[in-house]
Amino acid sequence: MFNETVSKQKNEAYLNAEKAVEKRFAAIPVTPETSAAKRAAIKQADGAVDAQFAKQQPATQAKLSAAKKQAEQQAKAAVDAQFAKQQPAAQAKLSAAKKQAEQQAKAAVDAQFAKQQPAVQAKLNAVKKQAGQQARAAVDAQFAKQQPELQKKLNSVKEDAEAKAKSTFSQEALKKAGLTQTEFQALKDIVAVPYVSTLKSNDLKANAVQKLFSLSKKLPAEYLKKVPSISQSDFDRGVNDVRKYGGAIPFAALWDSLVRLLIVFALSAITTFAMQYIMSAVAQKTVSVLRQQVDEKLSRLPLSYFDAHSNGDILSRMTNDIDTISSTLQQSLTQIITSFFQIIGYIWMMVSINIVLTLIVLATLPLYLLATMFITNHSQKYYSAQQKHLGALSGHTEEMFMGHTVVKAFGHEKQSVKTFRGINDKLYESGWRAQFYSGIMMPLMNFIGNIGYVLIAVIGGIFVTKQYLNLGDIVSFVAYSKSFSQPIIMTANIANVIQSTVACAERVFELLDEKEQEPDAEDATVLKNPQGNIRFDHVRFRYKENVPLIENMNLDVRNGDTIAIVGPTGAGKTTLVNLLMRFYEICGGSLTFDGVDIRKIRRGSLRTMFGMVLQDTWLFNGTIRENIAYGREGATDDEIVEAAKAAHADRFIRSLPDGYNTELNEDASNISQGQKQLLTIARAILADPVVLILDEATSSVDTRTEVLIQKAMAALMKGRTNFVIAHRLSTIRDAKTILVMNHGAIVEKGNHESLMMKNGFYADLYNSQFAGKQT
């Protein structure tokens, strides 16, 4: 009822306020502005009413509570008075009725106040919230002023408590665990030796170790953080060692480990020795076979190959390049095999520690591979160029050494040095670039290895903090990973050596892959009784496909004929002889020997029928006797002497200190050029060929010796087919047929007299040589 009265009063206040506003605005004309002002005035008036009743709410609530309490007391008093009169008559009924009346009265009061509680409670909560915020703000402001001082006092109290705890910890632990000071010190250090060394029995010592370990688990966490952690397996191993060795140094086990280590080292030495022995044998055998194959290949190559390549380049392939291959087979491959087994061993050790870290290390392998491939791809071309220029340099050096007399005689030292410098500069450029790319291999490999170390350190540190691994395992793993990277880096560096070896191998196998001279036909034959009849029928030949040399050549030579071939340099004279001996194959037409195409005759058989005395003498390092005997296998000493006499060489040979046993050096420079020519003539005479070829045979002989040789040659050429190539036309006056060649074609043909009568090309050549004499 009281609450309804309050609400009624509040509504009446709202109405009165609105009426006052209406009255005030009644005389004012109605416009949108006045309507808005009117609504604002009504809202302001309602707010004032609410504010007024909000101030009165605490007092109203207090009155409400007092009224409720007063109503309850009045009701109770009325009930008590009513039932007090009837108490003597029906005490039991009175008590029940009293209780029922109290309950009904309480229910009525509760029901009445339950209706009013939500509105009152909402207002009370709002007031409580506002009061709480104001009180909290006041408290915060008060404590903010006092916080520094309070924090200082709090820290001081904390430090005092910690100091007190530390000072009493040792004594409390000793008292609690029943340990002696020695036992407790051993427990603190997690070292059993100071304690167990005082015990007599090994079993007692082992029990002491176990006791210390069990007690260590009971220590407070803040103390355990200050001592190293130790696992149960480590303590078990310590217990076993104590039982077995009594806590002393296990010398028996130490000796056992040393013996095993010595056995391992001995096996390593034996296997290394065996590997070196096997690899040395394999390398030398491989190189020996390779040299044999190169030598056999050179004997099967056509003459065109030697014309296109310098002697020095061929020698460089057979010596320098093959030696490089030998060195790689013997050393680098051995190191690669050793590195392979080292890598396997280190991987096994790393896996035994932690497989995750091992996978991290293995993840760097592709980086090693990519780096190696990048460097080798860029440096390989320079290694190939280096070997090429080295061969050219060897060729030039060999050429200058063999012709140093000519170089000095013509004053071409500067040109020779200039040519050498040009080749050497190219060799330097290619070598520098090859070594530069190879030189960045090691820094790059180390950089990749350091990436792996950083990853191991970071992830390994995480594993240690999470107690997956201990610090010792990480240290061991880093050591193994570093050892693991060493053979990989070494193998990558060996790749540089292998590049040079590959370049050398390319040059060697390029030679082995060269096209050989055409093999003999399957139906090739051997002439049983050769006569020396030779026929050229429309023969064509050219060294280069687009440069013709001999075109449509026809010639018929019979046994016993002497054919002289003359012409200017490059006319094709020597080429004609090369075709006869199948040093080159004809490009067209046919060339027959005794009516048989020379391509149907075995080369070996064909060439034994020819004897040659070339313009450039060739004598090998050996005695004069051996050089003459080279003309025919199995020649006797008498036959050798007779051949030398026929060539008028016997006299000068016997004048030498050692006679026929005189040793000729590498280029036979210890005898004169004319004497060399005489020895080659003696060698041709000893061969007793069916066809004799003299290529400027007397070009290096003085006039007196030339006359003697011509007499000997006249007797030698009887009954044989002879081809004489000469620039000195005086030596071929007696030839039966003279072929005059120019630009690969026979321009004139006949004997000396007939050709002179023609007054043609031959007569011009002859007259140009003897013009001085005729005048």
Rounded to whole angstroms, the Cα distance separating 345 from 237 reads: 26
- Give residue 115's pLDDT: 74
Rounded to whole angstroms, the Cα distance separating 74 from 78 reads: 6
Q: Which long-range contacts (CB under 8 A, 24 or more apart) does 60-68 make?
A: 60/6, 61/120, 61/124, 63/2, 64/2, 64/3, 64/116, 64/120, 67/2, 68/109, 68/113
First to last CA, the chain: 174
Q: Is residue 131 part of a domain?
A: yes
Rounded to whole angstroms, the Cα distance separating 615 from 588 reads: 28
Task: Tell which of 214, 245, 276 closes a domain.
Answer: 245
Is 308 found in the same domain as 202? no
Task: Tell which of 512, 543, 572 closes a domain.
Answer: 512
For residue range 699-752, list pLDDT tens digits in order. Answer: 555 667 667 667 667 767 777 888 888 766 766 777 888 888 887 778 888 888
**In the predicted model, is pLDDT for residue 755 greater than 80?**
yes
Rounded to whole angstroms, the Cα distance separating 416 from 402 reads: 13
**In the predicted model, is pLDDT for residue 697 greater than 60?**
no
Is 197 found in the same domain as 117? no
Q: Average pLDDT of 607-625?
A: 81
Q: Which residue has the tokens 């004489």?
A: 724
Question: Which of the residue ranges 133-137, 264-268, 588-592, 643-647 would you say has the lowest mean pLDDT?
Answer: 133-137
Q: Is residue 399 part of a domain?
A: yes
Pairing mode, strands 691-695 and 610-613: parallel
Q: Is residue 618 part of a domain?
A: no
Q: Percentage of residues in the chain with pLDDT exceeding 90?
A: 3
Name the most confidently modeled range: 31-35, 413-417, 530-534, 544-548: 530-534
**In the predicted model, is pLDDT for residue 366 greater than 70?**
yes
Is 341 found in the same domain as 271? yes
- For 530, residues 6+ apart whose C-beta sits below 8 A from its C-beta are 593, 594, 609, 690
Q: Average pLDDT of 434-459?
A: 82
**In the predicted model, is pLDDT for residue 64 greater than 80?**
no
- Give residue 249's pLDDT: 55
Residue bearing the bigger pLDDT, 187 or 473: 473
CA-closest candidate to residue 661, choices 687, 640, 634, 691: 640
Rounded to whole angstroms, the Cα distance separating 216 from 211 reads: 9
Question: Which of the residue ranges 86-100, 286-300, 626-640 would you say has the lowest mean pLDDT?
Answer: 86-100
Residue 165: φ, ψ to 5°: -65, -40
For residue range 619-666, list pLDDT tens digits in order. Answer: 888 899 998 998 888 889 999 998 888 888 888 899 988 999 998 876
94: left (phi over 0), alpha (psi -120 to 50) or beta: alpha
For residue range 225-248, list pLDDT tens digits in order. Answer: 444 444 555 555 555 655 555 545
DSSP label at residue 533: -
The residue type at 583: F
- Give residue 770's pLDDT: 63
Residue bearing the bigger pLDDT, 128 or 395: 395
**In the predicted model, is pLDDT for residue 172 greater than 80?**
no
Is 79 found in the same domain as 21? yes
Q: Average pLDDT of 758-767?
A: 85
Is 185 found in the same domain as 125? no
Rounded to whole angstroms, the Cα distance separating 578 from 738 reads: 19
**In the predicted model, is pLDDT for residue 1 greater than 80?**
no
**In the predicted model, is pLDDT for residue 98 greater than 70?**
no
Q: Is residue 744 part of a domain?
A: no
Where residue 679 falls among pLDDT bands split at 50, 70, 90? confident
Q: Is residue 147 part of a domain?
A: no
Is 499 found in the same domain as 355? yes
Is 333 found in the same domain as 291? yes
**In the predicted model, is pLDDT for residue 358 greater than 70?**
yes
Is 703 in contact with 676 (CB distance < 8 Å)? no
Q: Is residue 200 part of a domain?
A: yes
- Give residue 263's pLDDT: 92
CA angle 609, 612, 511 (to 5 degrees): 90
Calculate the average pLDDT of the chain: 75
Name the most confidently modeled range: 1-10, 252-261, 384-393, 450-459: 450-459
- Give residue 194's pLDDT: 40
- Give residue 752's pLDDT: 87
Q: Average pLDDT of 49-70?
A: 71
CATH number at residue 381: 1.20.1560.10
Question: Which of the residue ranges 90-99, 168-177, 320-329, 418-427 would you say has the lowest mean pLDDT?
Answer: 168-177
Is 325 found in the same domain as 453? yes
Is 203 found in the same domain as 288? no
CA-closest candidate to residue 720, choices 612, 569, 587: 612
The distance of Cα 154 from the centroid of its chain, to the nearest Å, equals 64
CA-closest candidate to residue 539, choices 591, 495, 491: 591
Q: Is residue 156 part of a domain?
A: no
Is 584 in contact with 744 (CB distance < 8 Å)? no
Where residue 165 falls among pLDDT bands split at 50, 70, 90? very low
**In the predicted model, is pLDDT for residue 689 greater than 80?**
yes
CA-closest candidate to residue 212, choices 229, 234, 235, 233: 235
Is 433 found in the same domain as 317? yes
Q: Is residue 748 part of a domain?
A: no
User: In terms of residue numbers, what domain contains 230?
Assistant: 179-245
- Give residue 237's pLDDT: 59
Q: Percentage of residues in the chain with pLDDT exceeding 70?
A: 68
- Give residue 243's pLDDT: 53
- Give residue 660's pLDDT: 92
Number of structural domains in the chain: 3
Query: HSE-up of 104 (CA within 13 Å, CB side)?
Result: 8
CA-closest candidate to residue 374, choices 496, 199, 553: 496
Q: Which residue has the tokens 């036959």?
A: 639
Is 50 found in the same domain as 117? yes
- Give residue 138's pLDDT: 64
Question: Which of the residue ranges 250-254, 446-450, 478-482 would you say has the lowest mean pLDDT?
Answer: 250-254
Task: Tell which of 194, 217, 245 closes a domain.
Answer: 245
**In the predicted model, is pLDDT for residue 163 greater than 60?**
no
Q: Average pLDDT of 172-183?
A: 52
- Give residue 191's pLDDT: 38
Is 285 found in the same domain as 203? no
